[in-house]
Structure formats: C-alpha cells, structure tokens
Amino acid sequence: MERPTILTKSPARASTRASSILPFPVTARFNPTALLILYAFVLALGLGLGSASRALKGDPPFGGVRLGPWEAWPRLGSPEADPYMRAIVARRGEIPLATGEGFSLTARADSQGRRLDAGCSYRIGAVTPPARLWTLTLYDEDGRLAASDLGRSSFTSSEIIRNPDDTFAITVSRGLSSGNWLQPPAAGTFFLVLRLYDMPGAAGANLAESAFPTIERLECGS
Amino acid sequence: MRLRNRFLLATLVGIVMAAGVHVAVILAAPRYAEQDAFGKILPTISAEQAQIVSPPGGRDTWLPLPDPAVAVAACAFDLDDGPARIAAKTGSLFLSFSFHTKTGGVFFAVTDRAAVRGDLEIVVMTARQLDEARAAEDENEPSRDVRIVAPEQQGFVVVRVAAPAPSLRAQAEEAAKAVACTVDEAE
C-alpha cells in the first residue's frame, strides 16, 4: 500500500488511484476454475496419448484366439480388421497374411504357459491342421531370425522328417540334436511363428486346439 | 467441500476427453503412419514388375518377422492413372496375391488355385472404372478379366511365393520378381 503514496503526495488523488492500481489484481487471485480446466486438459492428453501408445505397442486387444500355446488374430488379414489391428499393423510396418492366403500363429510360451526360454529344450509336435504348406520359424526376442549353427531358423512342411505314422517332432535346444533341430539364440527368450499357407476353409474357423502342435518343455540346463 | 466436487468433476471430464483422444489417435494412426508397409512400397510405384520386399532366407529386409521360406514382393498402384493389372505365371510353387490399401488393410486375396491354365491375372479398379469397363464391353465377346473393386485409390499388391526347400529359394525369388504390374490404358 506504499506505492500510491510514493507516486503522489496528494492524499485525495492517492485514494482515487489506489483503486485502479491495486497491487493484487482480480485475475491473479487464486482461481480454481482455470486451474481445474487446465488440469482436465492435461489429464485428457496424458491419459489419451499414453493409453493409445501403450495399445499400439502391444498385441491387438480384441479378436484374439488362443489354441493351446498358439495365439492368433484371424481377422488381422481381413477387411473386418478392427481399428486397433489396423493401427498396430501400420505402426509395426508389417504385411499380415490375408485370410485366404494363410494363417499365422505365434507362441511365446510352452503348452504349460511358461515363457519360452533359450536355456531350456523343447519338443514341438506332432500334428498341424491341413494346409498346402506350413512353416515354423524361430525368432529371438527382438524378432530377428535366430539361425542355428547349421544356418537354420525354420522348417517347412516338406523339409521335416516324419515318423512312420506321419507325425513329427521338432527339437529346440542349444545343444545339437538329431532329427528336426532348431537352435534358440544364445540367451534370453524367443518365440515361434507357425504359418499355414493356403488352408482349406476360412482361416481360424472351426479349428480345435488338438489340431495344433504342442510345445513341451523337456529340461532346463545351466 | 465444493472445491473437492469440482476437482472430481474435472477429473471425470479429463477421463472422458482422454477416451476421445485415445480413439482419435487409434483411428488416425494408419493414415499418418510413415514407416508402414505402404510408405515403404510407394517409391516403387512406377515399376512394371513387382519389387522384392523380403527375399527368401529372410535377410536384408525391412519386413518384420520375415518367413525365410517365402519370397515377398510388392507393387504399389494408383487407380487415378487407370486400372491396375497384376499378372503372374504360376508354377509348382505356392503363389498368392493380397491386395492392401493404406488405411483399410487387406481387401482381397487370391492364391494360385484360382489360376486359369497357369495364368493368374487380376484387374484392380475403382467402382467407376468398373462401370466404364462394363459399358465399353462387347456383349458378344465378354472380357475374361477378373475384376475387383478397390475401396481406395491407392494401395499395393503383395506377392508371396513359397520355397518349400532352400534349393527352391532362387526359383521362388525369380517367380516373385516376374509378376507384372501394369496400368491399363483408358480406352
């Protein structure tokens, strides 16, 4: 309250000016409404962008099918793909297999639900649904092809060595194994992708879990 | 405690608006994505042959999770220039076409089972171009083109050729590269 008196010596004028140059103008007063509006906007942007980027980094939240250890999104390659699927495909830059072209399934865990680990050995078998051709590919946790010491990271249905009853078994282990052998990366986790090309019927429809290979954990060495 | 109620109201409004932001981002993501498959394939739009995206073996590719047993090639089309004609000679190897748009995903797919005497030929057009083609057609000599209508002007065709054994990989890559993507001239 000293500034008006410094500016002028006349007490009458000081009182008239004091009202116009009040040291605390109305707008600087604590205003909860403005703060709350700002808070609502920050909350909307933060939550909205955060949840959207989280959703885009993961797997499509809807339309998934689980068949034993295998997970698939049958509508991913169809015109009925939902907006999450489209956004995730665009972000990953991938080209999904179209319905009618093939069907792809991913396994990140074994048949008991334990994460696939490079320190363990697994047996994959023994049947797949009918398809003109299938491939089983092993990727490391970053999605790169994990080539074994023999330079192999995948099997196709025509390369596989089958048992007399037409079943098959693929061994995944660090150490060399006879028969169908895939080698996981040196450490960490890995995942498998089974692709069935030219399946009869609509992809993903009427498929039973028993038609898909199981992933059995054999042992976990040091 | 009016202030607390107002705070709760602001939180509620914020959450509702957050849901709107979330939906808007998800819906807009395919349109504004630059690192998507369409953005990477588009530079090859003028090529008359499909361009290899992922050679068999799965090396040297931007495609995530490549299948080492499959050669993937693609060609982009822009229907403003005229209908796109995609033609392949099929052999013993599995071959498939899938048709994609930037924002709409897959709209059609076909495998070599649909081939007629070793030729698989598809014409992609807009609804308007289809009408024009029908109107221009000679009734006594109907066209044998397989025509599909694309939901958007721009898109790309993906060709997949499988190599069931590593020794067939070179052949699969050749077959994928040999697919012709031409623009039909307006009549």
Cβ contact, residue pair A94, B64, below 8 Å: yes
- How is chain B split into domains, by residue range? 1-32, 37-183
Q: How close does chain B come to A92, measured CA to CA in Å? A: 7
Distance between CA atoms of residues B89 and B71, nearest Å: 15
Distance between CA atoms of residues B111 and A203, nearest Å: 14
Task: Report chain B residues whose CB lies below 8 A from the CB of A101.
Answer: 96, 98, 109, 111, 160
Residues B11-28 have pLDDT tens digits of 999 999 999 999 999 999
Distance between CA atoms of residues A212 and A124, nearest Å: 10
Cβ contact, residue pair B68, A153, below 8 Å: yes
Instruction: List the CATH code of the domain at A64-220.
Output: 2.60.120.600
Cβ contact, residue pair A48, B110, below 8 Å: no
- How is chain A split into domains, by residue range? 26-57, 64-220
Closest Cα to residue B158, out of B88, B60, B91, B92?
B88
pLDDT for residue A8 is more than 70: no
Question: What is the per-residue pLDDT for A5?
Answer: 47
Instruction: List the single best residue of A62, A89, A95 to mutate versus B (max B Cβ within 10 A).
Output: A95
Distance between CA atoms of residues B72 and B96, nearest Å: 10
pTM, full prediction = 0.83
Residues B29-55 have pLDDT tens digits of 888 888 888 888 888 888 888 888 888
Residues B172-185 have pLDDT tens digits of 999 999 999 988 87
Structurally, at CATH architecture level, domain B37-183 sits in Sandwich (2.60)
DSSP A156: E
Q: How close does chain A come to B64, measured CA to CA in Å? A: 6
Name the residue facing A198 among B16, B94, B158 (closest C-beta).
B94
Cβ contact, residue pair A48, B62, below 8 Å: no
pLDDT for residue A1 is more than 70: no
Residues A169-192 have pLDDT tens digits of 999 988 888 888 888 888 889 999
Q: Which residues of A179-197 are buried (b: 16+ CB within 10 A; e: fewer)?
A: ebbbbbbeeeebbbbbbbb
The two structure tokens encoding residue A43: 């909350």
The two structure tokens encoding residue B16: 């509702």
**H or E, element range at A40:** helix A32-57
Angle of helix A83-92 relative to helix A32-57, nearest 10 degrees? 70
Cβ contact, residue pair A86, B22, below 8 Å: no
Q: Could you tell me if A160 and A168 are in contact, meaning their C-beta atoms sit under 8 angstroms apart?
A: yes
Q: Could you tell me if B86 and B124 are in contact, meaning their C-beta atoms sit under 8 angstroms apart?
A: yes
Cβ contact, residue pair B21, A77, below 8 Å: no
Question: What is the per-residue pLDDT for A13?
Answer: 55
**Among residues of chain A, what percentage have pLDDT more than 70?**
82
State how far Cα A7 lies from the chain centre: 69
Which residue on chain A is closest to B113 by alpha carbon? Answer: A198
Distance between CA atoms of residues A129 and A212, nearest Å: 6
Distance between CA atoms of residues A118 and B27, nearest Å: 38
